Amino acid sequence: MLQAAQLRVVDEERVHVRPKCLRGRPRALLAFLLLSILASPAQQKTGPTASFDSARKVFRLDGANVTYAMGVNAHGELQSLYWGDRLAATDALPAPRIVSFADEMNDGPQEYSGWGGGTLDEPALKATFPDGNRDLVLHYASHAIDGDELRVTLRDISRDVYVTLKYRMDSATGVLARSAVIENRTADKLMLEQAEAANWNLPASTDYSLRYLAGRWGGEFQLQTQSIQPGSVVLESRRGSTGHQSSPWFAIARGPATETEGSVWFGALGWSGSWRITVGQDPMQQVRITGGFNPFDFGYQLKPGESLQTPVFYGGFSSTGFGGASRQMHRYELTNILPQAPHPPLRPVLYNSWEATKFDVDEKGQEQLAEKAASIGVERFVMDDGWFGQRKDDHAGLGDWYVNPEKFPHGLAPLIAQVHALGMDFGLWVEPEMVNPDSDLYRKHPDWVINFPGRPRSESRNQLILNLARPEVRAYVFGVLDQLLNENDISFLKWDLNRVWAEPGWPEVAPDEQKKLYVQYIDNYYSILQDLRKKHPRLEIESCSGGGGRVDLGVLHYVDEVWPSDNTDPFDRLSIQDGFTYAYTPSVMMAWVTDSPNWYNQRVTSLSYRFLSSMQGSLGIGANLNKWSAEDLAVAKEMIATYKSVRGVVQQGSLYRLVSPRGNSEMSATESVAEDKSTAVAFVFLHSQQMRYPARRVFLEGLDRNAIYKIRPIYGHLLDHEPTAASGAYWMGNGLSVILNGDYDAAGFIFERVARP
Ligand code: DGJ
């Protein structure tokens, strides 16, 4: 995996913990004394968030309202001690205990367990050695604290297999980033069959419930809830990419947590390949979450001296319910994950041609759309599929990234010049990992695709997957994109991926190296994104995968936004967007206003409804503007101008999900509040009119209770007697009465602070 630059080690401790069989009391005492001496106060440098209590052998990470702690027991095992609400600096956590596996004791769950030595939990690491031995028992070896990063190195009790656990606590949000590096320092190769990023252990209890995101193409990010019972729940993708079916995110509440109250632990995995998160409760009520590379069909050989970096698993804790958990995650993504973090620029309003023209793009048609787009205030014009090779439909062309000479006789230059002249920047759709068998590339390099020799090559959307793990394929993909960007003034790529893996073979390498495909492919995908950005610093990228099939904290390091779903129906989008925001910031959530009836489900909605639904994220237009009336274009112009005035709040403010669109709810509402509480934006949607009420009452959150806020409609009305200005306390306590009339009516309001207390 790609790694951030290695940091200088400023505080390192190294203790040789001997195998259990060699240890007697005097040796344990000696080791303990040595540890204490090495960790004398002078050497105990504590970074802002990480510290080590050498007397008790306890590591502690504190950030925002969160404390995380673990410790080394007398056997040398690293045990999880605490994860939750921030503890007092003076709180001494109980020293880690010796655990008897025979008793199934649960008061000493391991922080990162090897499969061996009687482990009963879901292990983090499983290996097979060439002699057939599969026993791996990891004990503390050393640690280092460098600013915010803590690294704890474990070693197998007899073999030179080292695991360095990395922890980085974010002091602003309390989100902890965890990962592991597994290193083979033995003289022989070994095969890793399971390599997780982290085990997370919750305080033992029975009253836990799990929330996760499941779905399908056109119905991504559907929030699911179930109680946690003895046994395991497996969330995963075995498809080579993140997937529409499940998103690598979880939230676990203890007791009756709500949107605003209660204890919630949450986490998200940064990996865009096959992944797995298991949530298990053992017979002793220990709840443990384990996540990383999906161990299904996994096999990563490490030769002597080689190492494997796992994905990063991010975790946090909120004592203010699911809303608080999401806001912490959003803030973390904006300040720590996105390519331009900690200050990602606001997303421009874009136009995309896909729903208007499908594959039928040409210079004249695109220029016409660009003119209309510019006239309503669009800032970025994106030409979607159909511009390259012999691409007339989805049967041909993928792989041949030259501009189609019939559709664009003078290349892309005239269109781009026109887009620029209209005051917009230009973006282009690509799907670089794919090839149609009907393409020059496939005819030349049929061996470049993922395949098992002699077996059928399953096609999906008439396409096969290039084996990006191969250096020559990686070079080709980088080369064509680099050339495209060198030859044309392109500010934005929409990078699509329209199928999942099948027959995942890599016949060119030795059989025991072939499963490295699962890791090497994704590493190369990330490295292409990174290298393109480095070479073309103005470039922005959207991750799309037939909708929301590649949204995760791994790809979000390299892309500025994502496409959540091909389902652009503004009503269906309410629940897709609701689920999305549990894990991901609205800043990256691209949402187009498209035509009505919607292509996906034929639902008819008003233009204002469509705008209000899309304005909750990063606004785009995906309609055939040639069909819009002058009145539609005027409404759009006004809506876009208003959106621009509040997009900072929507994209980077604090999101409050006021009323959920899930279940049989008749209505739903969201609110975004600026970080300094000066502005708030509320969106309210009526789903289906039942027993008409005079108005719907919506209670705001997150305002400055003593300040005065003036209300300004984006669209819609309040009941007549409502004030036009009132205190934050009023809008939160008394609420506002929004007139909504008929199915799919909607309203939006802006609250501006006019006076401070
Ligand atoms: C799937 C994407 O999700 C759509 O927006 C569009 O780009 C098509 N692919 C193009 O083939």
pLDDT digits (tens, 9 = 90+) for 432-442: 999 999 999 99
* Residue tagged active-site, from 566, 572, 578, 595: 566
* Whole-Å CA distances, 119 to 46, 104, 105, 156, 281: 32, 9, 11, 14, 15
pLDDT at 103 over 60: no
Segment 185-204 shows an average pLDDT of: 97
* Whole-Å CA distances, 97 to 57, 80, 153, 502, 671: 11, 11, 19, 46, 47
Task: Please give the distance of CA 192 from its chain centroid, rounded to a whole number.
Answer: 26
pLDDT at 13 over 60: no
Task: Tell me which of 385, 461, 542 to substitute to probe ligand 1's pocket, judged by most ligand atoms within 8 Å of the beta carbon.
Answer: 385
* Confidence grade of residue 21 (pLDDT, cut at 50, 70, 90): very low
> Ligand 1, closest atom to CA 563?
3
pLDDT score at 26: 37
**Cα distance between residue 509 and residue 512, in whole Å:** 8
Contact 680, 703 (CB under 8 A): yes
Ligand 1 centroid distance, CA of 546 (Å): 5
The pLDDT > 90 percentage for the chain reads 87
What one-character-per-residue DSSP string does 419-486 give?
A: HHHTT-EEEEEE-TTEE-SBSHHHHH-GGGB---TTS----BTTBEEB-TTSHHHHHHHHHHHHHHHH
Ligand 1 centroid distance, CA of 497 (Å): 8
Ligand 1 centroid distance, CA of 427 (Å): 14
Ligand 1 centroid distance, CA of 358 (Å): 9
Instruction: Of 169, 196, 178, give the one whose Cα is nearest residue 65.
Output: 169
Please state which of the ranges 30-44, 108-122, 337-351 shows the lowest mean pLDDT: 30-44
Ligand 1 centroid distance, CA of 498 (Å): 8
* Closest C-alpha residue for ligand 1 atom 10: 385
**Cα distance between residue 40 and residue 114, in whole Å:** 30
Segment 682-688 shows an average pLDDT of: 96
> Ligand 1, closest atom to CA 544?
3
Task: Tell me which of 496, 499, 599 to substitute to probe ligand 1's pocket, judged by most ligand atoms within 8 Å of the beta carbon.
Answer: 496
| H-helix or E-strand spanning residue 234 | strand 231-237
pLDDT at 387 over 70: yes
pLDDT score at 42: 32
Domain made up of 350-651: CATH architecture: Alpha-Beta Barrel (3.20)
Ligand 1 centroid distance, CA of 385 (Å): 7
The pLDDT > 70 percentage for the chain reads 92
Label residues 506-527 b or e (16+ Cβ within 10 Å = b): beeeeeebbbbbbbbbbbbbbb
pLDDT score at 100: 59
Q: What residues have CB less than 8 Å from 126, skipping those under 6 apart?
A: 114, 115, 134, 136, 192, 193, 194, 295
Task: Tell me which of 384, 388, 428, 621 to substitute to probe ligand 1's pocket, judged by most ligand atoms within 8 Å of the beta carbon.
Answer: 384
Q: What residues have CB less than 8 Å from 178, skipping those under 6 apart?
A: 165, 166, 167, 197, 198, 200, 312, 313, 314, 315
Tens of pLDDT, residues 209-246: 999 999 999 999 999 999 999 999 999 999 999 999 99
**Cα distance between residue 280 and residue 209, in whole Å:** 11
pLDDT score at 101: 55
Task: Tell me which of 244, 354, 361, 499 to substitute to probe ligand 1's pocket, judged by most ligand atoms within 8 Å of the beta carbon.
Answer: 354
pLDDT at 384 over 60: yes
Instruction: Of 686, 747, 741, 745, give the one whose Cα is nearest residue 712.
Output: 747
- Cα torsion at 237, 242, 243, 245 (round to 10°)? 60
Tens of pLDDT, residues 407-429: 999 999 999 999 999 999 999 99
End-to-end, the C-alpha distance of the chain in Å comes to 51
**Cα distance between residue 468 and residue 435, in whole Å:** 12
Instruction: Of 277, 158, 263, give the one whose Cα is nearest residue 214.
Output: 277
* Closest C-alpha residue for ligand 1 atom 6: 354
Segment 677-694 shows an average pLDDT of: 93
* Closest C-alpha residue for ligand 1 atom 1: 546
pLDDT score at 205: 86
* Closest C-alpha residue for ligand 1 atom 11: 385
pLDDT at 19 over 50: no
* Closest C-alpha residue for ligand 1 atom 2: 546
Tens of pLDDT, residues 576-613: 999 999 999 999 999 999 999 999 999 999 999 999 99
**Cα distance between residue 590 and residue 480, in whole Å:** 26
* Residue tagged active-site, from 146, 384, 400, 496: 496
pLDDT score at 344: 98
**Average pLDDT of the chain to the nearest whole number:** 92
Ligand 1 centroid distance, CA of 743 (Å): 30
Q: Evaluate whether the domain defined by 659-755 bears CATH number 3.40.50.300.
A: no
Where do the structural domains in the chain lie, given as residue ranges?
2-337, 350-651, 659-755
Kindly list the protein residues whose Cβ atom lies closer than 6 A to any atom of ligand 1. Answer: 354, 384-385, 429, 496, 498, 544, 546-547, 563, 566
Is residue 566 annotated as part of the catalytic site, yes or no? yes
Other C-beta atoms within 10 Å of 675: how many? 12
pLDDT at 39 over 90: no
What backbone phi and psi angles, to 5 degrees, belong to 516? -60, -15
pLDDT at 208 over 70: yes
pTM of the model: 0.93
**Cα distance between residue 146 and residue 728, in whole Å:** 43
pLDDT score at 284: 83
Segment 439-463 shows an average pLDDT of: 98
- The answer for 193, left when phi > 0, alpha when psi is -120 to 50, beta otherwise, is alpha
Instruction: Indicate if the alpha-carbon torsion angle 405, 408, 409, 412 is positive or negative.
Output: negative
Query: Which CATH number does the domain 2-337 belong to among 3.30.200.20, 3.90.950.20, 2.40.50.140, 2.70.98.60?
Result: 2.70.98.60
Residue linked to tokens 């896909």: 354
**Cα distance between residue 664 and residue 315, in whole Å:** 31
Ligand 1 centroid distance, CA of 237 (Å): 21
pLDDT score at 108: 65
CA atoms within 13 A on the CB side of 483: 11
pLDDT score at 94: 83
* Closest C-alpha residue for ligand 1 atom 9: 546
